[in-house]
Amino acid sequence: MKRSDLLETIEPTTPSELVHAGTWEVRGPRSKVAEAILLLLYSRPMRSREIAEKLGKSSRYVASYLSYWRTRGVVDYRGGYWFLTRRGEEIVRTILDAKRLREEEQLSHTRTTEPVSGTINDKSRQAHAKASGAVQSFIVEQTSAPEGKQWEQDPIGKALRCLDTLLGDRDLEEEEYAVLRHMVKHYAEWGSTYLYVDQIAEDLHYEMRELLQILRRLQTKKLIYMYTDKRLGIRVGLGRGLKQAIDKCLGKR
């Protein structure tokens, strides 16, 4: 069966099934949005904007998930397209296998509890029809659900929402946005407005040359500053204006 066919007939599993699928645990965002993204990428490599359109989300929102999964070795980015790594494909196959097993169990239960009649075949066809296009219905009905109060109360989540609001419609590349989110998360968690360039490269799995190009673009937009410490290397910090705006958004004095 083709991957595209699987996407049409298999609806995403619950967040807990994604995280605890198989014999090992995957640490990551436990949300239905993340599952939908992985399932879409299982079909073919895609641009984040294309994924965002299918999910009805903003490109920056989708890019934040993709950047997170990239640091976990589940997806990668090349030539403007996101794609699943081998590990990512294994995760999705596990999700699909779990879904098929659940459907078989439900069908078996139906056959043992319902009277034997022609309605069984009708129900089977109805179930198949319901499953067909399940990813699309999942996108429309499930991904719009709130992520929960825990995210709203989380300091990191609050800081990232402030960043999203402050950036507004500014034209940032996916990589630029991923770096900014990483720095804001670090600030919200540790109270430090800067990181060293080798730390960022290690955390986000960037080649140094590629990362420096991204940082220079952010610096020209006055969103970060870079300072060379002769002992410790290049320090990358949040721009003063951006930091003050985030502090104001968070209610800090």
Q: By percentage, how much of the chain surpasses pLDDT 90?
A: 22
- What is the C-alpha separation between 224 and 176, in angstroms, rounded? 11
**What's the chain's average pLDDT?**
74
Q: Cα–Cα distances in Å, from 67 out to 60, 70, 122, 138?
A: 10, 5, 44, 22
Q: pLDDT grade, residue 235 (50/70/90)?
A: very high
pLDDT of amino acid 111: 61
Q: By percentage, how much of the chain surpasses pLDDT 70?
A: 69
Tell me which of 24 and 134 has the higher pLDDT: 134
- Which two structure tokens, joined as six digits, stand for 243? 């930091």
Average of per-residue pLDDT across 192-219: 90
Residue 195 has pLDDT above 60, yes or no: yes
**Three-state secondary-structure class, residue 191:** coil
| Domain architecture of the chain: domains with CATH | 1-145 (1.10.10.10), 151-250 (1.10.10.10)
Sign of the torsion formed by the C-alpha atoms of 245, 248, 62 and 193: positive
Answer for the pair 242, 223: CB distance below 8 angstroms, yes or no. Answer: yes
Tell me which of 15 and 50 has the higher pLDDT: 50
Nearest to 188 by CA among 218, 223, 163: 163
pLDDT of amino acid 68: 79
pLDDT of amino acid 172: 80
Q: Which residues contact 40 (CB under 8 A, 6 or more apart)?
A: 7, 46, 51, 54, 55, 135
- Model confidence pLDDT, tens digit, residues 140-187: 444 444 444 444 457 788 888 888 888 876 778 878 888 998 999 899
Q: Which residues contact 238 (CB under 8 A, 6 or more apart)?
A: 183, 184, 187, 193, 194, 223, 224, 225, 246
- What is the C-alpha separation between 71 and 74, in angstroms, rounded? 8
**Three-state secondary-structure class, residue 223:** coil
Tell me which of 195 and 69 has the higher pLDDT: 195
- Model confidence pLDDT, tens digit, residues 106-147: 776 666 665 554 444 555 445 444 444 444 444 444 444 444
Average of per-residue pLDDT across 203-209: 84
- What is the C-alpha separation between 180 and 182, in angstroms, rounded? 5
Q: What letter would DSSP give residue 86?
A: H
- Which two structure tokens, joined as six digits, stand for 241? 């204006």
| Residue 132 CA to its chain's centroid (Å) | 24
Answer for the pair 8, 133: CB distance below 8 angstroms, yes or no. Answer: yes
Tell me which of 117 and 239 has the higher pLDDT: 239
Q: pLDDT grade, residue 79 (50/70/90)?
A: confident
**Three-state secondary-structure class, residue 5:** helix
Residue 239 has pLDDT above 50, yes or no: yes
pLDDT of amino acid 15: 37
